Structure 1
Amino acid sequence: MKPSILIADRDREDCLGVEWFLSQSSIQCHQMIKSYQADDVLQSIEQYQPEIIILELEMFHHAQFKILATMLEDSFTQVICTSTEATYEQARKALNLQFVHFLLKPYTPNHLYAKVRKATHFIQKHEYIYQQEKTQSSTTSQSGLYEKLFNRKELFPTEYVSIGFFPADKSSISSLYKEITSFFRYEVMDALSLSEMILLFTEKHESNYVKEVTRFLQHWETISDVPLSIVVYEPKSPDKTMYSVFEETKDMGEMIFYHGQRKILSFEEAITWKRMDPFLSPPEQRKWIEMLNKRNIQQIKQELYESFQHVKNPYPDPGLIRTKLTSILAQVRRYMHIYHIQQGEIEEKYAQLYRSILYTPVLYRIVQEMVIFIQLLFNDTKKKHDEAKYDIAEHAFQFIENNYWDASLKLSDVAKAVSLNPAYLSSLLKRKTGHSFKEHLLTIRLQEAHRLLSETALSVKEIAHICGFAEANYFSRCFKEKYEKAPTMFRMQNIDHDMRGK
């Protein structure tokens, strides 16, 4: 199957460049459509029903984005999101679209090619599985499970149990299906191969099926390296349809995120996801900023483990947890910006962690990767700090940037850290920057306050404290002198500008 590709970007040159590049590559497609405005994108999706969409997130305002998410809901469309912002807000948008890849502009042609190639393979594999499902459903002598399942009216027999098999690698679906249908020998048994799972309906047999499922998991692990998780669902509630039981079994598969792989999970009732705010609250933002500024790795470990390693029933939807983790990663990114750590190996590891948050199937692995990354980041900042000691002025600048949040920071503290006389250090800083110590420190504090007012919901008082101002009134006066607007007015105008821009 050759897919249709929709390229959606406000920049016409970018659209034309992507179209030309893909047309010159080995990727074969049925057609390529270009759209430069949000309304045109929605119309093109409805008219052409493209299998792959390369989509700039900034194109859509809130109302248009909701329409887009509704149109793509429950579809197999492969959405490759692009953005100029690596923020949790953009990650949340992408998650709402059930995106498959995220590209941060400017991206390289090779990165784009890899993502489109992977999406094309998925479309082709899905088409193959779909045809296989249709063939199985029409030729199986036991029952027409496919037709029963998707007519959404067939009632689920009360004496039945639903068993979902979830392999970590979806490419093993076909071989898993063969193993299941040859291993289980129940008189009444319906098995269906789907794109992400194998669904098995069978009669209850005095709990023997639980032992059989355990035996099958052991059997699978002797023949395959692909982790397999199994959900056993015995609905207590009557009047459920085959389709609703299928949907609930699929939801239960999401619990692998909390419990880990290679396990058998058993349920008697449908999962009700707990509501939660997926974004950091102002106090949480402040806490993370302070922990990072102070390089308090022990407190960070404790915060991550308490927040994510001991999640209990009722569980939040895993998508909300992933968004919460990207909110934390946004604060880590802020720390990297402050200390100019945005290249080389650490930048690659940051991108890897971002992908891990979005795709890694088990929560505790994501948490461990985040802890390891932050430790590496702190080691890197410490190394930069140590290297700066060979340049007295640079060492002094690093010390000020590392401690600007301390309201009691004085020139004598910096002088002691770099082993210089305060008067000599003051003249050295003046020669290097053209500003006194107090002026330089104030500039750093106000720049960070400017960023926090733009990017967070922290109160003016909280921002003043985080940035090292002992009094909020003094902070407001200094901010107005530098930016010609009081902090509150600056934030209001900034929000209004963002709204009009969207």
Structure 2
Amino acid sequence: MEQKELLTVIVADDETELREAVCSMIPWKEIGFRLVGSAGNGLDALQLVEQLQPDLLLTDIRMPYISGVSLAQQVRELRPLTQIAFLSGYDDFAYAQKAIEYNVISYLLKPISMRELTEALAEIRGKIRRKFARLLPQKPEKSGWRELLLPLLLDGFAEEAQQDDPALRASLVGAGILAAGQERYSLTVLAIRLEQDGKNRTTPDMAYTVDMLLGKLCRSRSVYSGGRLLTLLIAEEEPRGLELAIDELRQSFARVLELRAIVGISHPFTSFCRCHAASREAVDAQRFAGESGIYHISQIAAESGTAQTDLSALLAPLDNLLRSGSREELEKQLVQSFGASSGTAESDSVTLQVLALAQRVLHTAVSPGEAAALLRRCRIPEPLFSISPPQELQRRVTALCLAARDLLAERRRDGVSLLCAQAMETIEKQYMEEDLSLSGVSEQLHVSPNYLSANMKKYAGDTFMNLLIKKRMEVAHALLTTSSLKIYEVARQCGYSDQHYFSFCFKKYYGTSPAQLRRAESERGGDGA
């Protein structure tokens, strides 16, 4: 990333004069920032962060509707890469220290002059740049743990063992993979592929960045193999916050290196003997991730209602295209695969392998009965080679592959659509609850706030918060024009305990206050009479 690129910033402060002075008097461009928004309260600030995804949020710690610390916590969940600088009175200093875990990069004491604030912001920019610089890939240091970890992840030699033996544990401790004296552990494998414009840009030195980011959650060890990174996470118990850590990883690669990270996650397991099986699970999940960019192997079984199927790496180009490619790309690859073996002794073998691959991929998304019905629809014979010429069988297998690809794409869309529909249903049913939030709904749906937010924008057309505000405002408008409820009663029924803030939001949304709307409706009613 170009070092001179401007960092984006949002300013939030309920003191209008101070906020406007900061926005207008700070020489933002000269000190390396671009001001993209400002807010007068915590809710508006959170809404802007979700929409604009800034590099820095400069906020007062005492904010209406959401306090600065609560705002920092929710920003951390939604946008882990966004750094936060607090403006605080002296009495709030100890209070602010508690929020360090929420990406608070600095806290500045009020009163503060514009010169002092400018100097402080220049220092903050330097801190953020240094954080970004630490994310750049580095050549891995020489270490014996890679020589031990690679066979565990890539070979199945240890899979027959039921538990780790003392010799293996000693080797793991000696290599620095397992902490000395650690008897209990929960393991997870991630498969990570970094792309730019659809092309694989993963390199071995990116393992450093992955381990630095995920190492904040638990012990992380990454190796490069087959055009992807395989990462083993070692925690004392199943790590909480894994999705949040992966969100930060994906945002970091996107912001600093302009790379899209596609991540597959295995089931958690408790024996190093299962590393190979877990790495296969993670690779399968990563191939299935598609547009979402992150996929947990357990989602496959959960969405299909079937047991997890062990997929092979057979015909890797076809595997990837079946899961996430276009029809045109898949059809072209099939023509090449069949064409290369045409007229040779390997022709039947290639056809059989392609059919086997299509069936295995199908079983990650549909029930055995649905898969069998698709085979019948595409007229796949039994026995397989009972028809001639061979080109006719290849044509039918091609039709099966294309149909499987379409079904998988539909199931992915259905899964995300179902997730968004559940979020929309929550808004419809719980809009009157003041504490309804993106992070709370995400927790109910077992996804990260960032993942839900991104998909809501894509499939529902707007951010979660904007959709919630839209629902509340529509209900408020209806109550104000059709009922005799007092304005504070309307506010409470729409999730606002503060009538003044409700009026502020209503006027911001409709361009008129609740009282003005009622007067206009009353005058229209009088004219009609």
Give the alignment's TM-score, normalised by structure 1. 0.30
Q: Select the structure that is richer in helix.
A: 1
